[in-house]
Structure 1
Amino acid sequence: MSVKFRSKEAFSSTSYTLLPFRFTKIDEDQYFLSTDYGEWLCLDSYTLKTLLAKERIVDEQIYFQLKARHFISTDTTNTQIDLLASKYKTKKSFLENFSQLHIFVLTVRCNNSCVYCQASRKSCQSDHIYYDMSEEVLDKSIDLFLSMPSSKLTLEFQGGESTLTMPLIKKAVQQVKEKNTDKDIQFVVCTNLCELSDEDLDFMIAHNFSISTSLDGPEELHNHNRKFGRIGAYVPLVDNLNKIKNKGAFNQVSALMTTTRQSLDLHKEIIDEYVRQGFRSIFIRELNPYGFAQKYFHKIGYDSASFLSFYEQSLDYIIELNKQGTIFRESYAALILKKLITPWATGFVDLQSPCGSGFGVTLYNYDGNIYPSDESRMMAETGDQYFRMGNILENTREELFFGSVMQRIAAAGVNDSLPVCSDCAFSPYCGADPVRRYQVTGSIYGRPGKDEFCVKNKSIIQMVIKKLVGADPQTREILLQWGAK
């Protein structure tokens, strides 16, 4: 018995149903279409009008793309609903395990003085009794941390300068290993790497710590932003980076840069510094409106347009470096690309909806207070306790995670239910940030479409899409590699 395949024409139809999607104009005659489950496509205005009128799509390739990506359907039985539900569930899979990143602020003492640091920083000579986490708070915090439902958890030690409390870090690691029975625990330490003994460094390497440090660029810029005692922080940082390299553990190190006004004309120099130090990526991070950064914004700050111009110049330069054979990527663009080209969610809380604050992150302050993010903790240190969830010594887990603070965050942290966001074509690739919006606008709902959180994210997502769609083959291959990692 012979089997005959149906002709291509049998799958084409002049009658189809529109499935839910959003669209927005991204160029003079180009529109970006997206779905809740992450599929997307770019169409010209004529084809979009034809689609919206449910008329015949003449270009068969576009027709089959629309069908394959579930913008249209010829199925009258609704059998694809299960498939679309599965796609949507995969995109939101980060919710299944609840909070996975747990930040322990062990101290607010610090040996650096930074122009953009949170206002809670205290001198490293300050009395540790008042500014370090007590053992009682540490014990209770570890118990709460290990009670989380996820089989994979991250414990991040932060400050101030967290390594000023190395005995607490070692005690925490010991307790986690003694009490943990079945969870995969990743340890992270956030440190300026200015004052670290070989013994402490060996401990971190032996326990497979991820080491997160700060590098704002070349020596002059880094020293302008960050002081170590009476000198700049650059030389001790680089000395310890070299020690880590000599110990064969540089793959455990990552660095963050913070963009100040002094950075805006130095995109090449900043990226070249990262390459020179051996890093394979950079996260182009804007200045956060918290703590000292807010106080001194008139000296170090800038508007959104200036940051976006700096970001695009940096992105273009990084792409050019890759074309010349230097493997290097911009991490924020890579996260957006992952959301665009894969079915998977990212672990980056700033690009999650429902938002990462509280649902993906829990912060344990040195004084026992619990917050949904580091940013909300910074606000509390300057006097605004709006996001304080409770205290580890006073409240139960249910009171902390189902209390009024988390209820407010839940109401304002889902793009699908926010005005403007719910209709935005970039919404599936963006996130929600009630904490930042409250800080900048005074409302946890912000001003979607107009506030700086929205303007920045929308602009960068659109920038990445346009570069991907309009790229030459070599650039496209580079961008696709970033998203696939």
Structure 2
Amino acid sequence: MSDANLLYVDSHAFHDVEVKGRRVLLHVPSTGIFDLDGVTTEVLDFVRPKATVSFEELQQRFSGQGSPTLIADAIEDLKSLGVLRGDPAQPDHGPGISVTEFPLSTLVLNVNTGCNLSCTYCYKEDLTTPSKGEKLDFDKAKKGIELLLKEGAKRDRINVVFFGGEPLSNMRLIKAVTAYAEERCREEGKQVDFSLTTNATLLTEEIADWFNEHSFGISISMDGPQAVHDLRRKTIGGKGTYEVVAKKARMLLSRYTARSVGARVTLTAGYSDVAAIHHHLKDDIGFAEVGFAPVTSNPVTTFNLVGDELRAVFDAMKTLGREYVAAAVEGRNIGFSNMHQMLSDLYEGRRKALPCGAGIGLLAVDHKGELNLCHRFTGSELPTFGNVETGIAKAELGAFLENALDRSERGCSTCRIRNLCSGGCYHESYANFSDPHSPVYHYCELLREWVDFGIEAYLEILEKNPAFLHQHVANRSSEL
């Protein structure tokens, strides 16, 4: 039985940081950020090292120091946040719910396993050459769209993503599926968005204009200046592709008006100058946004960022992040996607029980019509979860997601960013540990630092130019 005179301290419910003399608290359960006044800071610092604290201890410590009402209010504020509580704190084991509904909003169609490039770091296990590529046929794709409409019946808007291999190598299917999905969504009274990521080598003016007509969201895989890009992104014959990709990207950007076009950068061992890559792709090529994906799980380990080099990449990301903040204060968006996403999470106060929408809001269809957890798993040994003919294997997928929701045996249960990270990418964990549910322990501390940096950046922008957050961060999805 709990002692009514005793308060328990939940050290895993909060994380406080000092930002330029300002103390703020990240409320871990809600991802809310709160300013700490002087009195609340003193109370928090007093109870922080304790497992329990009594009212007598609090009274003795703060007797004669300031207004009793202010002290009492500070204690009540910490109680309302769960930092102080009437019963012993427990690790966050997850919501403990059964997953039986799968309200899809996004379907990824792997239209061709073939690719005309041979990028040295590619993770795709089913990737092959164009001549051996296995293409998704229209009948399976059509059934995939019907599955999306059925499972996403309550959604007003659905998303169809075309992936590969190189998706532009199967433009015939992309056009047919787009026409079918548009017609079916008109019949169902829904909106539909289309997107794809391409290496751009097969882009033509005709294709670009067709994408424009159908308002595709387009990302181009490009790794930076020529020396960097050509090091990893090569043709099957071993020739660098920078010149053709840069030419095609500039062509697209000169005539594409439907939506902003972004660049996706894969960072590998050997080069970590994030700012130089960003400036080239944003300022020289003209992309609206540039996003970075560090490689830490490639089967060819020489490409993986580890140790000091991975640390250097995160430090370089923060350097670019400071440029982002300085520009934001002036009202300019320099298009650093990673920073934009972090600020969006903090601005919206997102609380994630799962690391992403894979399995709940998103599934990927491979060339056989099998339903994969996401596009990264097509061709892998991870079991699939049904197919477009028979539908979702809901019992198996539900069990997978319930395992992901269970934090009881993982460090996530007490981690301060557990509701922002939720264990990290399933595929990243699968590639590193052969277990999609294992947290990404190899860079957990770096992710915690990145969130701290994001809090600092968010508060500076909020103080100096809050209109930037309203204009760019709140409307992030509509800008891309």
Q: Deviations over 1:207-232 (max 9, x none)?
A: 11111111211111111111135432
* Structure-2 change in CA distance of 1:145 and 1:468 (3 Å): closer
- Contact kept, 8 Å, 2:115 with 2:128, in 1: the verdict is yes
Q: How much does 1:461 deviate?
A: 1.6
Pairs within 5 Å for 1:50-449: 50=47, 53=53, 55=58, 60=70, 67=77, 70-71=80-81, 98-117=103-122, 118-126=124-132, 131-149=134-152, 150-180=155-185, 181-228=188-235, 230=237, 231-249=239-257, 251-264=259-272, 266-276=273-283, 277-287=285-295, 289=297, 293-294=298-299, 296-298=300-302, 300-303=303-306, 305-320=308-323, 323=326, 327-343=333-349, 353=354, 355-378=356-379, 380=380, 384=381, 386-393=382-389, 395-397=390-392, 400=393, 402-404=394-396, 406-414=397-405, 417=408, 419-432=410-423, 433-446=425-438, 448=439
User: How far, CA to CA, are the matches of 1:61 and 1:269 in structure 2?
Assistant: 50
* Structure-2 change in CA distance of 1:246 and 1:69 (3 Å): farther
User: How far, CA to CA, are the matches of 2:318 and 2:465 in structure 1?
Assistant: 11
Confirm whether residue 34 of structure 1 aligns to residue 39 of structure 2: no
* Structure-2 change in CA distance of 1:332 and 1:63 (3 Å): farther
Confirm whether residue 49 of structure 1 aligns to residue 42 of structure 2: no
Q: Deviations over 1:111-158 (max 9, x none)?
A: 1110111232221233x5xx1112221222121122132221110001
* Structure-2 change in CA distance of 1:187 and 1:239 (3 Å): same
Alignment equivalent of 1:452, drawn from 427, 430, 442 = 442
2:313 maps to amino acid: F
Give the secondary structure class of the aligned counterpart of 2:416: coil
**TM-score, normalised via structure 1 length:** 0.76
Give the secondary structure class of the aligned counterpart of 2:30: coil
Uncovered stretches (5+) of structure 1, i.e. residues with no partner: 1-14, 77-88, 90-94, 346-350
Structure 2 match to 1:12: none
Structure 2 match to 1:86: none
* Structure-2 change in CA distance of 1:430 and 1:111 (3 Å): same
2:244 maps to amino acid: P
User: How far, CA to CA, are the matches of 2:72 and 2:177 in structure 1?
Assistant: 56
2:365 maps to amino acid: Y
2:344 maps to amino acid: K
Confirm whether residue 464 of structure 1 aligns to residue 454 of structure 2: yes
* Structure-2 change in CA distance of 1:107 and 1:445 (3 Å): closer
Structure 2 match to 1:3: none
Q: Alignment length, in residue pairs?
A: 430
2:218 maps to amino acid: I
Structure 1 match to 2:91: none
Bigger drift between 141-150 and 471-480 goes to 471-480
2:30 maps to amino acid: Y
* Structure-2 change in CA distance of 1:434 and 1:192 (3 Å): closer
The alignment yields a C-alpha RMSD, in angstroms, of 4.0
* Structure-2 change in CA distance of 1:139 and 1:391 (3 Å): same
